[in-house]
Structure 1
Amino acid sequence: MQRHATLNAPPRAEPSPTPRRGSDFSYHRLWRLRDEPLRQSRHNAAAELAPWTGRDLDIIIAPLERAFPGSDSEAEYQAFIHLYNLPDEFVWERERGVTHSFGCQHGEDGRETLWMHFLVEIPRTNSSTPEDRQPEWLKWGFFLTWLPTQRASTYTVALIVFEPPIETLERLLKFVRSPNWTDVTVDPYVLVDIALVSWYHRVDKVAWEVTNLIRNDERDIFGYAQKLQSNEWALDLHQIHTNAKNAIFMLEALDAAIRQVDMALLQHESIRQQGGKLWENTHRLLRHRLELFQSTKLRTTSSQARIKNTIDLAFHINTAHDSRVNLENSQVNLGISQSARLVSVIGLVFLPFGAITSIFGTQFFTPGSQHMDINPDFWVLWVIAIPITLIILAVWRVTERDRARLWRPGRSSLHDGRSLTLVSPRDRNHRSSKGSSMVNETELREISSHQIV
C-alpha cells in the first residue's frame, strides 16, 4: 500500500470539529472500520464515552486539563484518564507543561503506546505598550496506542489529541476521509508524521512572525540612526528585547521539535519488518520533517544574530544621542560661564575704583555755572587705582595659568621634550646588571635636561 502524497503540502480548509475553550466544550470522536464510511459523535462528558472497542481507527479530540467542562473539572479529568488508562508520565508531563516530550511504553498484551507534548510561544504582532506584548502559549498533547490484530501485520489504532491546533485537525480529517486511511493500520507512525508536519507548519508560521518583527526593529533602528540631530524621537528598547526573547523561545521550540522527530525516527525502527514499502515511505517523510525543522531553525538562528546586532546598534545610537545632548548642554553651560567670567572681570577692574572712591568719601564732580568742575583728588584716584588694578589682574592671571598647568601635566611634559618609557621587571634587572655607571649616566642626563628646561 502506498501512502497518500498530499501530506507534504498544506491542505485546504475543511469543516472540522474545532474544540472550543470554556464550559461548553465537548468531546469529538471519529472512527473508521474497513469497508464502512467515516462516523463521528459528540459527547459532553467523559461518562458518555466508551472505551476502546477494537475499531480499526478511533480518534478522540479532547480538551486540555484546564478546559474540562463541569463544576468539578478535576474529577472530569481523572475520569477521562482512568477510562483510557493514560500513563502517569503523560499526565504528569501534561500538567507540568513541558517543552519537549516523547515517550513510549510496551504493554503485556502487545499494546504499544506513544505520546508527545508540544509547546510554542506565539508573540503579539500588533502591540504598542509593554503590557500588550505579553506572549501567548500554544500547547497540545498527542497520545497514540495500537494493538496487533489477528490479521497479519495490522493493528487497531486509537488516537487522543488534546486541543490540537487547527492545522493538525485539518490534516487528520483529510486523512480519515481519504481512501488511504487504512495505511495507519499497517504503520501507526503515519499519524505521528501527520502530527509533526502539521506542527511544523504552525511553528514555521510563528517563526516567520518573529522574523518579521525583527526585520521591523532593524528598519526602525536604521531610521533612528539618521535622527541623531533630532530630539523628537524615542528608542523602544523594551520592544527590541521582547523580540530577542521571542527568538530565544522560538529556538527552544524548534530544538524540542527536532528532538521529537529524532525520537520518532529511532522508535520507528521497531516496526521496520512489518510495514514494507509503506514503512520506507513514512520513514523518509519523517526524515524530511527533520530537515524542515532544521531549515526553520537556521532562519531563526540568523534572526537571533540580527536582533543581537540590532540591540548593540541601539545602545550605540542611544549613547551617541546622549553624547550629542551632553555636548549641546556643555556648549550652553560654556556660554553661561563665559558670560559670568566677563562679568567677573569687569567687576575685578572696577573693584579698586569703587574701594578707593569709598575711602576718599568725596564728590569728584560738582556742577559749575558753565561746566562741570573736577575735584583735584580725582587725578589722585587714578594714580592709586590704576596700579592696584594692574596688580590684581596680574595676580589673577598668574593664578589661572598655574591652575591650567596643574590640569594638563601630560601636555607640559610633552612640550618639555621628555618621554616616558615602560620597562618590565625583567628588563629592569637586565639593565641593572650592567653596572651602576649606566644608571648614573641616565640620571645625569635627566638632571641636565631638567636644568636646561
Structure 2
Amino acid sequence: MIHTDRNRLAPRDIPHPEYANGLVELFKSCNVPSAFIAESFHNVSQSFGTQNDETGVYVWFHFLSKDIKAQNVDGQLAIVNRPKHERAPEESDEACEEDSEEIVDTAGVPEPQLNQANYHWTKTGVVLRIKESRKSPSTKSTSTPTSAPPEDPEVTLLCFGSPNALILRFERLAKMACYKDILDDPYMLLVIVVEEMHKLLDAAGWSVAWTFGPIETRTFENAQDNPGTAGNELNFAGLHNLAKHTIYLHENCGSALATLEDLRGFHKTTLAVPRNSSQQATRRALRYRRTLFQSTQRRLASLDQRMANMIELSFHLVTQTDSRTMMSESNAMKTIAFMTLIFLPLSTVATIFGTEFFHMSDDAPNRIQMSSDIWILWVVAGPLTLMLLIIWRVWYLDARARLGVDPKGTEYMGWKRLKKRFEGPYLKRRIIGRAMKGNNEGIELRNMP
C-alpha cells in the first residue's frame, strides 16, 4: 500500500520565516537526510545523493533552472521580469548582482529594470524514501509467532519548490495510477519529476530562442539595407541579457544531465536485473529523458553561438558607423583646410604689405614705397620659420616611430636622436648604407632577364 498523504509538495527548502517551523516538523517526521538540508543552506544548485539506513532508502537531488517566459510587448516578443508580488511563494529570485549565480532571498531589494532581463529561478528539491515491507516469519507446527506484524511498503516523496505543472501531474497520477506499479519500482516517481523539470528548462530555452530570432532577422536586414545606421538601432543590454540567459540555461541543462546520469547509474546498481515490467519501463524512461536533455543542450549551444555571432556583428556595425562619422568629420576638416589654403597666399601678402616697411608716398603719383630696413623682416622671420619646420619634422618622425609606421624601425627617434644625426660617424654610416643599397638595387636590375 502507498500512502497518498505522504506525497508532500512543499515550498522551497529554505529557512523562510513564513514556513520555517513547518519545514522543521516535516524534516523530523520524514527523517530527511541532513545532507539534503545542508545543501539548502549552502545554495547548492545541483546535487544527487543516496542513503540507506534502518528507516529505508533515501534518494535526493536538487534541480535549478531559469524560469523564463516570452511575452508580447508592443507587438514583439520580449522577456519581462515579473514583479515579486505576482510570483508564488516557492519561486526564487536571482541575486541583484549581475555576476552572482547564487539563489538568495532578495525581499525588499529593488530589482533593476533592464531590457530582456529576468531574475526568476525555479529550484526544486526532491527526496524519495523507500521503506521495504517487512514480512512475517514462517511459523512451525502450532507455535505462535512472536515477531511484529508485517508492515506494508511505504513510498514517501517530498518535493520542495516544485513548479505548478509538477503539482498538477501528481494530482492526476494519484487519481489514475496503479499503486502496484509504483511499489514495484518507486523510482518512476523521480522519472516524472525529471520529465517536468525538462519541460520547464526546454520551455525557457525556446522562449529565449523565440525572442532572439526576430532581433537577429531585423539586425541582418538593417545591416544589408542600411549599413550606415544599423548600429544605432542595436540594444546591447538586451543582447547581453539574452546571452546571459542562454549561458545559465546551458549550465542548468548540463547539471540536469549529470543528475540524470547519477540517477540512471544508481538505478542500474540497485536493480541490476529488472524483475518486472515497471523497472524495465523506468530504465527505458531514464534513457529517453537523457536524449531529451541532450537535445536541449545542443540547441542551447547552437543558440549561444548564434548570439556570439550576432554580438560580434553588432560591434562591427557600430564600428562601421563610427568610421563613417569620422570620415564625415575628416571631410569637413579637409574642406576647412582647403578653404584656408585658398586664402593663405592672399593673407600672407596682405600681412607683409600691411607692415611698417611698406607705405604710400605722399607725393603724386601715390605709389607704394618699401623701407630700406626690409631686410630686418627676413632676418627675423627666416630663422623662425626654419626653426618651426625643424621642430615639426622632428616631432613628425618621432610620432611615426612611436606608432611603428616608419619601416626603418627605430632609426628615426625624433629629438632623442637629433644630436646623433649630426655626428660624423653616424652620417658616414648612413651615406655608406645608402650607397650599398643603391649598388644592390643596380645588381638586381642587371640580373633581371
Q: What range is the shorter-chain TM-score in?
A: 0.5 to 0.7
5+ long unaligned stretches in structure 1 = 1-32, 34-53, 365-372, 410-418, 422-441
Contact 2:129–2:155 (Cα < 8 Å) also in 1: yes
Query: SS of the residue aligned with 1:137?
Result: strand
Q: Cα distance, 1:60 vs. partner?
A: 1.2
Deviations 1:225-276 (A, max 9, x none): 2433338924221211111111110111101110111111111120344642
Contact map agreement 2:231 2:321 (CA 8 A) in 1: no
> Cα distance, 1:85 vs. partner?
1.6
* CA displacement 1:145-166 (0-9 Å, x = unmatched): 1111146998321111113112
SS in 2 for 1:188: coil
**Counterpart residue number, 1:42:** none
Residues 223, 230 of structure 2: 8 Å contact kept: no
**1:183 matched to which residue of 2?**
181
Cα deviations by residue, 1:171-198 (Å, 9 ceiling, x for unpaired)? 2122221143431111001101101111
**What letter corresponds to residue 309 of structure 2 in structure 1?**
N
Residues 448 and 221 of structure 1: is their aligned pair in 2 closer, same or farther, counting only changes over 3 Å?
closer
The higher relative CO (CA closer than 8 Å, separation ≥ 6) is in 2
Q: CA deviation at 1:448?
A: 6.0
Change in Cα spacing, 1:382 to 1:241, as seen in structure 2 (3 Å) is same
Q: Aligned match of 1:103 in 21, 33, 49?
A: 49
Aligned residue identity for 1:58: R
**Residues 187 and 275 of structure 1 are in contact (CA less than 8 Å); yes or no, is this contact kept in structure 2?**
no
Aligned to 1:164: 162
Cα distance, 1:445 vs structure 2: 5.1
Name the counterpart of 1:428: none
Candidates 139, 148, 158, aligned match of 2:132: 148
d(CA) in 2 for partners of 1:339, 1:201: 70
Q: Which residue of 1 aligns with 2:306?
A: 306
In the alignment, the residues of structure 1 paired with residue 8 and residue 117 of structure 2 have an alpha-carbon distance, to the nearest angstrom, of 34
Where in structure 2 are there 5+ consecutive unaligned residues?
A: 71-77, 81-112, 137-150, 399-406, 410-431, 443-449
Alpha-carbon separation, structure 1, partners of 2:303 and 2:231: 29
Structure 1 residue 87 corresponds to structure 2 residue 86: no
Q: Does 1:63 align with 2:18?
A: no
Distance 1:342 1:443, change over 3 A: closer
Per-residue CA deviation, residues 7-52 of structure 1 (Å, 9 max, x unaligned), is xxxxxxxxxxxxxxxxxxxxxxxxxx5xxxxxxxxxxxxxxxxxxx
Would the aligned equivalents of 1:112 and 1:145 in 2 still touch at CA under 8 Å? Answer: yes
Separation of aligned partners in 1, 2:362 and 2:79: 79
In structure 2, the residue matched to 1:30 is none
* Whole-Å separation in 2 of the counterparts to 1:164 and 1:323: 52
Q: 1:112 is paired with a residue of what secondary structure?
A: strand
SS at match of 1:233: helix
What letter is aligned with 1:446?
M
The match for 2:208 among 207, 210, 222 is 210
1:236 is matched with 235
Q: CA deviation digits over 1:57-106, x for unaligned, max 9?
A: 73111112458675xx4333322222222111111112333221111110
Secondary structure of the 1:280 match is helix
Q: Tell me the TM-score normalised to structure 2 length.
A: 0.68
Q: Work out the CA distance in 1 between the residues paired with 2:228 and 2:362.
A: 58
* CA distance 1:222–1:176, change in 2 (3 Å): same
Deviations 1:418-447 (A, max 9, x none): x989xxxxxxxxxxxxxxxxxxxx969527
Post-superposition shift, 1:124?
Answer: 6.4
In our comparison, the structure showing a higher alpha carbon Rg is 1
2:64 matches 1:119:
yes
Contact 1:143 1:161 in 2 (8 A): yes
Provide the C-alpha distance between the structure 1 equivalents of 2:63 and 2:195, rounded to a whole number of angstroms. 13
Judged with a 3 Å threshold, the aligned counterparts in structure 2 of structure 1 residues 381 and 445 are, in CA distance, closer, same or farther, namely: closer
For the aligned residues, what is the CA RMSD?
4.2
Aligned to 2:291: 291
- What percentage of aligned pairs have identical amino acids? 21
Distance 1:245 1:139 in 2: 18
Distance 1:277 1:343, change over 3 A: same
Moved over 4 A (4+): 66-70, 150-154, 361-364, 380-385, 399-409, 442-445, 447-450
**CA 222–154 in structure 1, closer or farther in 2 if over 3 Å, else same:** farther
Q: Aligned letter for 2:130?
A: W
Which residue in 1 is equivalent to 2:258?
A: 259
Q: Give the TM-score normalised by structure 1.
A: 0.67
Q: CA deviation at 1:116?
A: 1.5
Determine the structure 2 residue equivalent to 1:37.
none
1:348 is aligned to 348
Distance change in 2, residues 1:258/1:132 (3 Å): closer
Q: What one-letter code is carried by the residue in structure 2 that aligns with 1:108? A: E
Instruction: Trace 1:125-144 onto structure 2 (pairs within 5 A).
Output: 125=70, 126=78, 130=114, 133-144=117-128
Partner SS for 1:314: helix
Contact 1:124–1:133 (Cα < 8 Å) also in 2: no
Distance 2:177 2:20 in 1: 39
Q: How does 1:363-442 map to 2 (within 5 A)?
A: 374-375=365-366, 377-378=367-368, 380=369
Q: 1:429 — aligned with what?
A: none
Q: How far 1:342 sits from its partner (Å)?
A: 3.0
What corresponds to 2:279 in structure 1? 279
Q: Indicate if the aligned counterparts of 2:127 and 2:157 stay in contact, CA closer than 8 A.
A: yes
Give yes or no for contact 1:261–1:286 (8 Å, CA) kept in 2. yes
Q: 1:310 to 1:345 in 2, by over 3 A?
A: same
| Structure 2 residue matching 1:192: 3-state secondary structure | helix
Going from structure 1 to structure 2, the CA distance change for 1:200 and 1:382 (only over 3 Å counts) comes to: same
Structure 2 CA distance for aligned equivalents of residues 319 and 256 of structure 1: 38
CA contact (8 A) 1:251 1:301 kept: yes
Cα distance change, pair 284–213 in 1 and its aligned pair in 2 (3 A): same
* Cα offset, 1:311, TM superposition: 1.5
